[in-house]
């Protein structure tokens, strides 16, 4: 089916761009000399995962137990669950291990480490390190690090698998130079933690880092064994804003119909609102043209931005498009379609249960495949 005949709103995935983004990251990571463990929390798709692990060592990262289960069911066994585990989820984790998952859990807490060690299940566990984002994780020079390592190492059926950190504060950076500094902080924190664990006599085979920005711009990955970027596969307007992707590399758009004109107010409405685009306003961090409202309005056929338009506000199923110059109402009659590049693709894609895949770069034409997603928890 021609994408122009799809019911709206719906997702269009440009496979040529996806593949190019995947190839570029594989090459980048190869040059860095580390393993690539792509994070699938953005795409949540087994079809995308197969492309992302192709040529790499085959492991992935997930953020929910449902993702872990879904990817296991789709044949991917080497899975790191990169959110701090709670004891009540251990039975579910063990059932995945029993079904063949090489699952790595994460903790930053001695009590939880004790619960894992005392559970009786065969668990591999990473210790989360706070490298400066100050979200979850222990500080690399903290006594808690060695306390947790000791508990896990002493667990009869527990394997201390290493350390993991996430430099989420790269998203607060506004230049490549700032990201380079954060990426080095990230590396240094993970390596310091690993060194301390080893000096204490414990194993630490895995040293895992990596957001998309820090992997893109890191100067040095000495001591790091793997990286976990994810959003690079699709890209979005926030990634364009911080310079990890160009607009021509954003692989996902929301196809939407113009549903109303308000010519007197220089406004039109689309059937992509707060649910279809998400209410993420990450691009508000950028000044001027880089703040695209709730997404960048692009031409149906070329996926090029339509100059001067922005999604200024959203209701549940209505998006308001306006601009500083007169809108091209005659080119965009009611019933015509445009495509919206999302602000934050992880949030936007989560509203949909599938991708309409097209092959051509800049994507127009036939849908060649429909790929599923696993949402929820």
The answer to the question of residue 186 lying near a copy of itself (CB under 8 A) is no
- The alpha carbon dihedral of 36, 373, 213, 297 has a sign of positive
Q: How far is residue 28's CA from residue 30's CA, in Å, rounded to a whole number? A: 5
Count residues near a copy of itself (CB under 8 A): 59
278-297: which residues touch a copy of itself (CB under 8 A)?
278-281
Among candidate residues 23, 25, 71, the one with its CA nearest the CA of residue 228: 25
Coil, helix or strand for 35? strand
Q: How far is residue 103's CA from residue 105's CA, in Å, rounded to a whole number? A: 6
Q: Which of 16, 181, 275, 285 binds a copy of itself (CB under 8 A)?
A: 275
Residue 181 or 259 having the CB closest to a copy of itself: 259
User: Nearest approach, Cβ of 86 to a copy of itself (angstroms)?
Assistant: 4
User: Nearest approach, Cβ of 350 to a copy of itself (angstroms)?
Assistant: 5
Strands 354-358 and 10-14 come out as: parallel
The answer to the question of residue 271 lying near a copy of itself (CB under 8 A) is yes
The answer to the question of residue 73 lying near a copy of itself (CB under 8 A) is no
Q: Which of 177, 287, 288, 316 binds a copy of itself (CB under 8 A)?
A: 316
Site string for a copy of itself, 27-66 (x = CB under 8 A): --------------x---------------------xxx-
Piece in contact with a copy of itself (CB under 8 A), picked from 8-16, 49-57, 221-229, 237-245: 8-16
Compute φ and ψ for 141, nearest 5 degrees.
Answer: -105, 15
**Inter-residue contact 62 to 70 (CB < 8 Å):** no
Among candidate residues 91, 226, 102, the one with its CA nearest the CA of residue 159: 102
Q: How far is residue 334's CA from residue 321's CA, in Å, rounded to a whole number? A: 13
Q: How far is residue 100's CA from residue 104's CA, in Å, rounded to a whole number? A: 12
Residue 285 or 347 having the CB closest to a copy of itself: 347
**Inter-residue contact 194 to 223 (CB < 8 Å):** yes
Size of the chain in residues? 377
**Inter-residue contact 14 to 303 (CB < 8 Å):** yes
Piece in contact with a copy of itself (CB under 8 A), picked from 48-56, 188-196, 209-217, 343-351: 343-351
The answer to the question of residue 168 lying near a copy of itself (CB under 8 A) is yes
The answer to the question of residue 347 lying near a copy of itself (CB under 8 A) is yes
Residues that bind a copy of itself (CB under 8 A): 5, 7-10, 41, 63-65, 83-89, 92, 108-109, 111-112, 115, 134-136, 168, 257-262, 265, 269, 271, 274-276, 278-281, 315-318, 320, 333-335, 346-347, 350-353, 375-377
């Amino acid at each position: 089916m021609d994408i122009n005949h799809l019911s709206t709103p719906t997702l269009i995935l440009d496979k040529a761009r996806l593949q190019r983004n995947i190839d570029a990251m594989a090459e980048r990571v190869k040059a860095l000399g580390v393993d690539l463990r792509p994070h699938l929390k953005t795409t949540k798709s087994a079809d995308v995962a197969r492309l992302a692990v192709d040529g790499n060592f085959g492991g992935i990262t997930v953020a929910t137990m449902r993702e872990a289960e879904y990817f296991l069911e789709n044949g991917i066994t080497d899975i790191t669950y990169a959110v701090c585990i709670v004891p009540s989820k251990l039975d579910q984790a063990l059932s995945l291990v029993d079904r063949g998952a090489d699952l790595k859990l994460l903790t930053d807490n001695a009590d939880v480490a004790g619960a894992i060690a005392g559970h009786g299940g065969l668990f591999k566990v990473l210790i989360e390190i706070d490298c400066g984002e100050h979200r979850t994780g222990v500080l690399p020079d903290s006594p808690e690090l060695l306390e947790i390592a000791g508990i896990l190492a002493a667990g009869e059926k527990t394997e201390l698998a290493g350390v993991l950190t996430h430099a989420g504060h790269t998203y607060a950076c506004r230049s490549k130079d700032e990201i380079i500094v954060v990426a080095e902080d990230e590396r240094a924190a993970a390596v310091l933690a690993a060194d301390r664990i080893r000096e204490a006599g414990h194993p630490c085979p895995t040293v895992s880092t990596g957001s998309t920005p820090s992997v893109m711009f890191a100067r040095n990955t000495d001591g790091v064994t793997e990286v976990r970027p994810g959003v690079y596969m699709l890209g979005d307007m926030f990634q364009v804003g911080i310079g990890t992707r160009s607009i021509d590399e954003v692989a996902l758009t929301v196809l939407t119909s113009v549903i109303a004109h308000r010519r007197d107010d220089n406004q039109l409405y689309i059937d992509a609102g707060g649910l279809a685009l998400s209410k993420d306003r990450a691009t508000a961090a950028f000044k001027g043209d880089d703040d695209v409202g709730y997404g960048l309005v692009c031409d149906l056929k070329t996926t090029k931005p339509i100059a001067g338009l922005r999604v200024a506000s959203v209701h549940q199923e209505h998006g308001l498009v306006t601009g500083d110059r007169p809108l091209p109402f005659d080119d965009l009659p009611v019933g015509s379609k445009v495509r919206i590049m999302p602000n934050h693709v992880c949030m936007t894609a989560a509203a949909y249960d599938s991708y309409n895949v097209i092959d051509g770069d800049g994507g127009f034409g036939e849908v060649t495949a429909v790929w599923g997603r696993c949402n929820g928890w």
